[in-house]
């Protein structure tokens, strides 16, 4: 084997998404609070299911599984995932990377994050660009606390406008 030879290995990745499970009728929603940046796509999409003032705050049984799963896929950070009798999320194709103004890189598609320990198979993630996150490689919102600014060329999307980032 020469030093420039590269080998790819198949890795059995975890099937169950990380986070707390919220059971519904035919769908289970998983919420990983460490990845949530409060874009509120879930709350706007199905406020009766995703209600931060209720306990539990995710009540997946209050809507059809297809509606719940569709709203979960809107979560740009990957804090929400689902499994259902119909299957799991199909990743977007092709994979896209969008830098948000003064914020994270939003990645959507079929990708693997190679981090120490077990590689993470993902469909959506908000990745840190400021270098200050306490949850690397994911963004935890520290960029706003430390006043980090990007140097232009970033997307000004509805989500960042809704949060007041732009």
Q: What is the pLDDT along the chain (166 residues), one digit of tens a residue?
A: 334 333 343 434 445 678 999 999 999 999 999 999 999 999 999 999 999 999 999 999 999 999 999 999 999 999 999 999 877 888 889 999 999 999 999 999 999 999 888 888 899 999 999 999 999 999 999 999 999 999 876 776 444 444 444 3
Alpha carbon separation from 6 to 1, 3, 9, 118 (Å, rounded) = 9, 8, 10, 19
Taking the C-alpha atoms of residue 146 and residue 63, their distance in angstroms, rounded to an integer, is 39
Class of domain 20-88: alpha beta
Q: What is the pLDDT of residue 16?
A: 64
Predicted confidence at residue 133, as pLDDT, reads 97
Q: Does domain 96-154 fall into CATH 3.30.1330.10?
A: no
Say if CB 80 and CB 72 are below 8 A apart.
Answer: yes
Structural domain boundaries in the chain = 20-88, 96-154
DSSP E strand boundaries for the chain: 20-23, 27-31, 80-84, 87-88, 96-99, 105-113, 120-127
């Amino acid at each position: 084997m020469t030093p420039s030879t590269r080998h790819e290995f198949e890795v059995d990745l975890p099937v169950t998404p990380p986070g707390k499970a919220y059971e519904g009728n035919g769908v289970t929603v998983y919420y990983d609070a460490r990845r949530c940046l409060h874009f509120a796509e879930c709350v706007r999409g199905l406020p009766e299911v995703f209600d931060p003032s209720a306990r539990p705050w995710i009540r997946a049984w209050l809507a059809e599984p297809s509606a719940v799963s569709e709203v979960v896929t809107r979560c740009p950070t990957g804090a929400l995932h689902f499994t259902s009798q119909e299957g799991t999320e199909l990743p977007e194709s092709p994979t896209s990377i969008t830098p948000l103004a003064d914020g994270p890189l939003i990645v959507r598609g079929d990708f693997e994050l190679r981090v120490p320990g077990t590689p993470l198979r993902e469909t959506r993630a908000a990745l840190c660009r400021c270098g200050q996150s306490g949850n690397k490689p994911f963004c935890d919102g520290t960029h706003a606390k430390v006043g980090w600014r990007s140097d232009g060329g970033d997307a000004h999307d509805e989500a960042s406008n809704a949060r007041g980032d732009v």
